[in-house]
Amino acid sequence: MLSCNICGVTVTSEPDMKTHLLIVHMENEVTCPFCKLSGVNYDEMCFHIETAHFEQNELEKNFERINTIQYGTSNSRKDSTLQCRMEVNSSIHSACASNHPKISAQGPPNNGILKHKGFYSENLTESRKFLKSKEKQSDRTKIKGSIYEAMYSPPECPFCGKIEGCSQDVETHVKTEHADLLDTPLEDCNQPLYDCPICGLICTNYHILQEHVDLHLEEGSFGQGMDRVQCSRDLELAQQLQQEEDRKRRSEESRQEMEEFQKLQRQYGLNNSGGYKQQQLRNMEIEVNRGRMHPSEFHRRKADMMESLAVGIDDEKTKTSGIMEALYRYYQNAATDVRRVWLSTVVDHFHSSFGDKGWGCGYRNFQMLLSSLLQNDAYDDCLKGMSVPCIPKIQSMIEDAWKEGFDPQGASQLNNRLQGTKAWIGACEVYTLLTSLRIKCRIIDFHKSTGPLGTHPRLFEWILSYYSSEREGSPKVVCISKPPIYLQYQGHSQTVVGIEERKNRTLCLLVFDPGCPSREMQKLLKQDTEASSVKQLRKFVGNLKHKQYQIVAVEGVLSSEEKIARRQASQVFTAEKIP
- 516 carries an active-site annotation: no
What's the DSSP call for residue 389?
Answer: B
Instruction: Please compute Rg for the chain using Cα positions.
Output: 60
Q: How far is residue 170's CA from residue 162's CA, in Å, rounded to a whole number? A: 8
**Helix axis angle, 167-177 to 76-98, nearest 10°:** 50
Q: How far is residue 114's CA from residue 299's CA, in Å, rounded to a whole number? A: 132
* Helices within 390-446 (DSSP H only): 391-404, 408-413, 427-436
- 361 carries an active-site annotation: yes
Q: Which of 315, 492, 516, 546 is catalytic?
A: 492
Q: Which of 4, 96, 203, 361 is catalytic?
A: 361
Contact between residue 480 and residue 470 where contact means Cβ atoms under 8 Å apart? yes
What's the DSSP call for residue 36?
Answer: -
Q: How far is residue 245's CA from residue 238's CA, in Å, rounded to a whole number? A: 10
Q: How far is residue 249's CA from residue 234's CA, in Å, rounded to a whole number? A: 22
Contact between residue 168 and residue 78 where contact means Cβ atoms under 8 Å apart? no
Q: Is 421 exposed, middle or buried (0-12, 13-18, 19+ CB in 10 A)?
A: buried
- 214 carries an active-site annotation: no
Q: How far is residue 424's CA from residue 414's CA, in Å, rounded to a whole number? A: 9
The three-point CA angle 399-405-407 to 5° equals 75
**Using CA of residue 379, residue 384, residue 385, residue 388, what is the dihedral sign?**
negative
Q: How far is residue 89's CA from residue 171's CA, in Å, rounded to a whole number? A: 10
3-state SS class at 530: coil
3-state SS class at 352: coil
Terminal-to-terminal C-alpha distance of the chain: 100
Q: Which of 43, 348, 356, 513 is catalytic?
A: 513
What's the residue count for the chain? 579
User: Could you list the active site residues?
Assistant: 361, 492, 513
